Chains A and B, each alone.
Chain A
Amino acid sequence: MERALANYRICDFTGQLAGAGATRALAAFGAEVIRIEDPVNEGRWDILRGQPPYPDERRGINLGGSFNNHNTEKLGITLNLRTERGKELLRDLVRSSDAVTENFSAGVMKRLGFGYEQLRELKPDIVYVSNSGFGSSGPYRDFKTWGPLVQAISGLTWTSKLRDQPPAGWGYSYMDHTGAYYMAIGLLAALHHRNVTGEGQWVDMACTEAGATLTGPAILDYSANGRPTRRDGRPDSNHSEWPPMSPHAIYPAAGEDNWIAIACRNEQDWRALATVVADPWTDDPRFASLEARREHEAPLDELLAAWTGERDAFETAARLRAAGVPAAAVARPEDRIDHDPSTAAWGLWPEVTHTELGRVRVDGLPAHLSETDWQLKRGAPCLGEHNEYVFGELLGLDSSEVEQLHEDGVI
């Protein structure tokens, strides 16, 4: 199948997930993403390089499982930017690239001599996308973050909790994923703008700002109605405030740490649920309307939990859905990866071939394009794996020159 972005080259300094996740999407659609790593510390600026999980007993800088997941389909080179020759080669690479991407702390690229002004001198229509915690301006521009801190600062941790409990937050770096999605969107939009107008630009992304756009109605409820989320036991995110639904929560199911999510959107759903439950308590006048059920949420949840608690999560969810009620078992990773016909039919867990790891499954993409679909076949690059191709074929050095770069500690 044709690759949508085959004509685009990205000079890529991103790492971890917040940055690497962005260029991963472009690589899956065929962009030539060239990952640049520091040979002196073996690319360890990306703290995931060489880190667990591992598929077997072997350990090493090229064998990290999460790094492989986030960097599939990319090329990898090493380049020592402390050397003048290294900088010169980077200048050549920038001149032949459509975009430069990075998620260093704000200001690092400028200090390296590759801030937007310098990049633009090398290539006037370059698209430069930086993704940092707080952006390149403002009082916190030098503050440092990672996923859980971004979530904390942008309001996403606070809005993920049960009534009268401390924040539960997101049990992973949701904003590394989502920051990467915004970074990819900003990059693609800026490339579109360049195609239409001929004009490049700097897209300065602050991950905390991207995160703060994701609680919009709560911000408006405060700015327009003066109603804060810090009030009477709220937030309570397993229940549904907007739109109001009841019952709406996660209930225990039979067995150890098994759970089922149930949401009644309206009276029809509630009546359907009552028919499946088939117990006299569902006729209790305390539960006769949405307003009444919301008012008596605690006893309602308790009665429903007693019913679900004796039942299998997956079977019960399927029964409820068949009756028209939104319901889902809380899926463990193994449930949704190895036992879910929907993800299997989608091809959501493709196997890539990594030069040293061999064949490993990775996250696929959740959108299929009818004419230019994504493709993930090549594993993440080993350190400097594509030096010969990039310095040789792309930048035109012969093999002895590449060898010399290696000896001189430039690559």
Chain B
Amino acid sequence: MTQPPASASGLQSGPMAGLRVVELCDEAGELAGKLLGDMGAAVVKVEPPEGSRTRGYEPFLGDEPHPERSLYFWHYNTSKRSLALDLEGDEGREAFRRLVANADVLVEDQPPGRLAALGLDYADLREGNPRLIHAAITSFGRDDPRSLEPFTDLTILAGGGPVWSCGYDDHSLPPVRGGGGQGFQTGCHWALISILTALLHRGEGGEGGEGQFIDVSMHAASNVTTEAASYQWLVANNTVQRQTGRHAAPAPTGPTQLQAADGRWVNAGTPPRYPEQFETLIAWLGELDLLDELAEAPLLEVAAGLGRMLDVGRIGEDGAEAALLAAGRAAMTLLAARLPAYDFFAGAQERGFQVGIIYAPEDVIADPHFVARGFPTEVEHPELGRSFTYPGAPWRFGASPWAISRRPPRLGEHTEELLAELGLA
């Protein structure tokens, strides 16, 4: 079913060009359809006649609530066509069956049991299409009774591990859920990895094998996306404790998040350890006339002349080693306090120090590097008479470029053309 990419059409150019995907998703799974669509797959989003739930999500363009003005829906539904179908009715179900019979992939986030009740589950669909790859994204997996319980992104991240590691040094403040719907997005990332794996296994054209069913658990996905929290327990039965702006750890570590002269925040990274780094620090402080203000300046000279890198492993046992590392940290802290955040970030990085600036999303799309690489992506909305800036490519595919091939679809915008394609018009 997969066709060679029709590069002549210019419409869909990515690595997944020719792949036919049916998406039946709301907020939990619709990123999966977007990722495939922006990589060139032909994605059909099946929506109920009243529209996908996320069309009702804030923020709205101009704060006017309307199914075609949800910016939330816009972001997650680029490069898709919309087919409005009532799956509770016979006609809708028949159209869905035909659609899936001609598809490579079905990705859905329906509650367990719903598709089976409609006669549209994998067992039914594979009869008409043994090559189908059906990925089901649920909260706890298809066979876990907890998948029938209510959930949100917040409860997935709280119960799945990430929240335990995030928050502040002050443990009277609650732990923090990282923003942006990452519990749902992590499930979608794993849906993509497993769909593409199943696709490579199935193969292409006449020689290809069969499809299969993929069971994706958001709870499991969060559980294995916690880095040290999991392996510290698995390997050594250590429990990490949350800290402000840095890794949760079994034992406390020094702060890394600093407020710059303009009130914005930076991450000072790891303190300098090499003699040449200390030399650079001394020179930078000198340029800014800050050496006299730093009580630890003489220690920087010592570290610069040490002839070897500082050994972080010796901090506990060796007072001198610890004092030299602390001097480097104090120098970075002073620089951050005296410079605007961007000047600290760019100045330090240009001098070889690994530091970061804490950007808001709106800062990212204005940053010169992101602009130079063309990350902010203009998408035309002809009926609104203008284009809008969307986040751009997660990858630069050299031979098969990523692209948003369509603005998000209006509700049922492609129903007629798709029903005609299926011979149902």
Which chain A residues border B156 with CB–CB below 8 Å? 328
| Cα–Cα distance between A209 and B372 once the two chains are bound (Å) | 12
| Residues 297-327 (chain A) with a chain B CB within 8 angstroms | 317, 321, 324-327
**A74-82, A189-197, A382-390: which one contacts chain B?**
A189-197
Flag A43-73 by CB within 8 Å of B: 1 or 0 each: 0000000001111000000000110110000
Flag B361-392 by CB within 8 Å of A: 1 or 0 each: 11111001110110110000000000011111
- Interface residues of chain A: helix, strand, loop or mixed (majority): mixed
Q: How far is the CB of B227 from chain A (nearest CB, A)?
A: 4
Give the size of the chain A interface in residues (CB under 8 angstroms). 155
- A204 part of interface (Cβ distance < 8 Å): yes
Which chain B residues border A5 with CB–CB below 8 Å? 197, 200-201
Which chain A residues border B239 with CB–CB below 8 Å? 332-334
Q: Which residue of A lies closest to B178 (CB)?
A: A160
Which chain A residues border B15 with CB–CB below 8 Å? 189-190, 192-193
B71 contacts A224, C-beta separation under 8 Å = yes
A190-B397 contact, Cβ under 8 Å, with A146-B354, A159-B178:
yes
Which chain B residues border A212 with CB–CB below 8 Å? 361, 364-365, 370, 375, 391
**A32-40, A107-115, A133-141, A391-399: which one contacts chain B?**
A133-141
A192 contacts B199, C-beta separation under 8 Å = yes
A191-B216 contact, Cβ under 8 Å, with A177-B225, A177-B227, A221-B71:
no
Q: Which residue of A lies closest to B191 (CB)?
A: A367
A195 contacts B203, C-beta separation under 8 Å = yes
Which chain B residues border A223 with CB–CB below 8 Å? 362, 365, 376, 388-390
| Cα–Cα distance between A68 and B271 once the two chains are bound (Å) | 27
| Cα–Cα distance between A190 and B396 once the two chains are bound (Å) | 11
B193 contacts A214, C-beta separation under 8 Å = no
Which of these, B59, B160, B234, B356, contacts A331 with CB under 8 Å? B160
A17 contacts B180, C-beta separation under 8 Å = no
| Residues 224-240 (chain B) with a chain A CB within 8 angstroms | 224-240
| Cα–Cα distance between A262 and B176 once the two chains are bound (Å) | 13
Which chain B residues border A338 with CB–CB below 8 Å? 233
**A85-93, A164-172, A402-410: which one contacts chain B?**
A164-172
A245 contacts B375, C-beta separation under 8 Å = no
B356 contacts A216, C-beta separation under 8 Å = no
| Cα–Cα distance between A186 and B399 once the two chains are bound (Å) | 12
Which chain A residues border B160 with CB–CB below 8 Å? 331, 336
| Cα–Cα distance between A137 and B201 once the two chains are bound (Å) | 34
B146 contacts A203, C-beta separation under 8 Å = no
Which chain B residues border A13 with CB–CB below 8 Å? none
A153 contacts B357, C-beta separation under 8 Å = yes
B75 contacts A216, C-beta separation under 8 Å = yes
Which of these, A206, A317, A337, A365, contacts B373 with CB under 8 Å? A206
A209 contacts B197, C-beta separation under 8 Å = no
- B57 part of interface (Cβ distance < 8 Å): yes
| Residues 149-163 (chain A) with a chain B CB within 8 angstroms | 149-162
A337 contacts B212, C-beta separation under 8 Å = no
Q: Which residue of A lies closest to B209 (CB)?
A: A371
Which chain A residues border B213 with CB–CB below 8 Å? 369-370
| Cα–Cα distance between A161 and B245 once the two chains are bound (Å) | 10
Q: How far is the CB of A348 from chain B (nearest CB, A)?
A: 5
A170 contacts B388, C-beta separation under 8 Å = no
- Interface residues of chain B: helix, strand, loop or mixed (majority): mixed
Q: How far is the CB of B359 from chain A (nearest CB, A)?
A: 5
Q: How far is the CB of B335 from chain A (nearest CB, A)?
A: 16
- B360 part of interface (Cβ distance < 8 Å): yes
Most chain B beta-carbon contacts within 10 A, residue among A186, A205, A345, A366: A366
| Cα–Cα distance between A366 and B238 once the two chains are bound (Å) | 23
Which chain B residues border A343 with CB–CB below 8 Å? 219-220, 223
Flag A354-391 by CB within 8 Å of B: 1 or 0 each: 00000011111111111110000000000000000000
B397 contacts A199, C-beta separation under 8 Å = no
| Residues 196-242 (chain A) with a chain B CB within 8 angstroms | 196-197, 199-206, 208-210, 212-225, 227-230, 235, 237-238, 240-242
Which of these, A165, A345, A369, contacts B168 with CB under 8 Å? A165
Q: How far is the CB of A15 from chain B (nearest CB, A)?
A: 15
- B110 part of interface (Cβ distance < 8 Å): no
Which chain A residues border B357 with CB–CB below 8 Å? 152-153
Which chain B residues border A327 with CB–CB below 8 Å? 155
| Cα–Cα distance between A171 and B161 once the two chains are bound (Å) | 11
Which chain A residues border B152 with CB–CB below 8 Å? 240, 245, 248, 263, 265, 326
A366 contacts B216, C-beta separation under 8 Å = yes
A148 contacts B227, C-beta separation under 8 Å = no
**B111-119, B181-189, B276-284, B417-425: which one contacts chain A?**
B181-189
- A181 part of interface (Cβ distance < 8 Å): yes
- A176 part of interface (Cβ distance < 8 Å): yes
- B80 part of interface (Cβ distance < 8 Å): no
| Cα–Cα distance between A4 and B193 once the two chains are bound (Å) | 12
Which chain A residues border B219 with CB–CB below 8 Å? 342-343, 366
B234 contacts A257, C-beta separation under 8 Å = no
| Cα–Cα distance between A178 and B189 once the two chains are bound (Å) | 8
Which chain B residues border A192 with CB–CB below 8 Å? 15-16, 19, 196, 199-200
A230 contacts B365, C-beta separation under 8 Å = no
| Residues 290-334 (chain B) with a chain A CB within 8 angstroms | none
Which chain A residues border B200 with CB–CB below 8 Å? 4-5, 8, 188, 191-192, 195
| Cα–Cα distance between A53 and B236 once the two chains are bound (Å) | 6
A349 contacts B234, C-beta separation under 8 Å = yes
Q: How far is the CB of A101 from chain B (nearest CB, A)?
A: 13
| Cα–Cα distance between A190 and B185 once the two chains are bound (Å) | 21
Q: Which residue of B lies closest to A368 (CB)?
A: B215
B360 contacts A367, C-beta separation under 8 Å = no
Q: Which residue of A lies closest to B3 (CB)?
A: A196
Which of these, B5, B151, B227, contacts A173 with CB under 8 Å? B227
| Cα–Cα distance between A364 and B185 once the two chains are bound (Å) | 18
A243 contacts B175, C-beta separation under 8 Å = no
| Residues 148-196 (chain B) with a chain A CB within 8 angstroms | 149-152, 154-168, 171, 173-180, 182, 185-187, 189-194, 196
- B206 part of interface (Cβ distance < 8 Å): no
| Cα–Cα distance between A333 and B164 once the two chains are bound (Å) | 8
B190 contacts A367, C-beta separation under 8 Å = yes
| Cα–Cα distance between A326 and B183 once the two chains are bound (Å) | 14
- B355 part of interface (Cβ distance < 8 Å): yes
| Cα–Cα distance between A208 and B25 once the two chains are bound (Å) | 27
Which chain A residues border B58 with CB–CB below 8 Å? 241-244
Q: Which residue of B lies closest to A252 (CB)?
A: B174
B192 contacts A174, C-beta separation under 8 Å = no
Which chain B residues border A29 with CB–CB below 8 Å? 197
Which chain B residues border A227 with CB–CB below 8 Å? 59
Which chain A residues border B191 with CB–CB below 8 Å? 367
A261 contacts B158, C-beta separation under 8 Å = yes
B226 contacts A172, C-beta separation under 8 Å = yes
Q: How far is the CB of A83 from chain B (nearest CB, A)?
A: 26
Which of these, A150, A193, A333, contacts B240 with CB under 8 Å? A333
A196 contacts B231, C-beta separation under 8 Å = no
Which of these, A152, A190, A224, A317, contacts B356 with CB under 8 Å? A152
Closest 5 CB pairs of A and B: A149-B356, A366-B220, A216-B75, A159-B179, A328-B159
Given A144-B349, A338-B233, 5 more pairs with CB closer than 8 A: A188-B193, A218-B179, A334-B239, A342-B217, A372-B201
**What would be 13 A-B contacts, judged by CB atoms less than 8 Å apart?**
A4-B197, A134-B369, A139-B369, A156-B180, A159-B180, A167-B265, A204-B396, A219-B389, A263-B155, A362-B231, A364-B220, A367-B221, A372-B212
